[in-house]
Amino acid sequence: MGHKINPISNRLGFIKGWYSNWFGGKNYGERIKEDYEIRRYIEENFSKAILSRIYIERTLKFITITITTSRPGIIIGKGGKQVDEMIKKIKKITNKEIQINIFEIHHRTLDALLLANNLAIKISNRVFYKKAIKNAINDAYFRMDAEGIKVQVSGRINGVEMARTESYKEGSIPLSTLRADIDYASAEANTSYGIIGIKVWIMKGEIYQKRKNLYSMFSMLGFIKKRKKNKIYKNVTT
């Protein structure tokens, strides 16, 4: 099952959250349209900032927009002028107070969307696809200590007449393990001989937060003793 659906949607509510957090009610369709227009405006006007994810959270009076990017200076501008203009234009779309948070991504090679877009740009500029993929895997797996990475390329690769799919993998990608923190993204490279599809999976590790919370709860209630700590902890969490 993990190989057939998006690994991020497979983990929603378990270790992953939604990109839009709000309650729709009767105005559900209007708010979806507003979210789409907000994201389209930011992506079109700040494409040079190398955007990753845009999170939208709504309350009764405020809309909080969190932007993750590798170049926050382009979004902020001189003295924060770009942010002020963004707030004014988004206010016209939503008619609500806007709050914007900007987070910088320090390691681009550990972000699946940035890595996929970077590969798409290189392939569009006629860089040999095997060299580009090999460099990306080396940066993520060997230099930034990712636990696993997989890159899949499909289409008329290298201009051949028959379309095919090639996969390159390093490390482990446990797609059916729900506690595994796997980042996934896809991109398209426009070439003179057609569109090349690119998919990237990055395994960042496993999240044991729920296990830790469960263990601390049982230890506070006195169900876990120090002598049998490991044995009882294993039985409780599985």
**In whole angstroms, how large is the CA radius of gyration of the chain?**
22
Q: Is the same domain home to 146 and 219?
A: no
Q: Is the same domain home to 50 and 74?
A: yes
Partners of 196 in beta bridges:
189
pLDDT tens digits, 42-63? 999 988 888 999 999 998 888 9
Q: Is the same domain home to 223 and 173?
A: no
Q: Is the same domain home to 161 and 91?
A: no
Q: How is residue 206 annotated by DSSP?
A: E
Q: Predicted confidence band at 121 (pLDDT cuts at 50, 70, 90)?
A: very high
Q: How many domains does the chain have?
A: 3
Is it the case that residue 70 has pLDDT exceeding 80? yes
Q: Is the same domain home to 96 and 114?
A: no
Q: Is the same domain home to 29 and 93?
A: yes
Q: Which CATH number fits the domain that encloses residue 136? A: 3.30.1140.32
Q: Is the same domain home to 145 and 212?
A: no
Q: Is residue 2 part of a domain?
A: no
Q: Is the same domain home to 152 and 178?
A: yes
Domain that holds residue 190: 108-202
Average pLDDT, the chain: 84
In this structure, what are the phi and psi dihedrals at residue 167, rounded to the nearest 5 degrees?
Answer: -125, 140
Q: Is residue 53 part of a domain?
A: yes
Half-sphere exposure of 135 (CA within 13 A, CB side): 12
Report pTM.
0.80
Helix/strand/coil for 118: helix
Partners of 69 in beta bridges:
51, 104
Q: Is the same domain home to 72 and 99?
A: yes
- Report the pLDDT averaged over residues 166-177: 91
Q: Is the same domain home to 52 and 70?
A: yes
Neighbours of 120 (CB within 10 A): 21
Last residue within a domain, chosen from 78, 104, 130 = 104
pLDDT at 36: 95
Single-letter amino acid code for the residue at 182: I
Helix/strand/coil for 50: coil
Q: Is the same domain home to 12 and 100?
A: yes
In this structure, what are the phi and psi dihedrals at residue 201, rounded to the nearest 5 degrees?
Answer: -120, 130
Window from 23-37, 84-98, 196-210 with minimum mean pLDDT: 196-210
β-pairing, 20-21 vs 51-58, is parallel
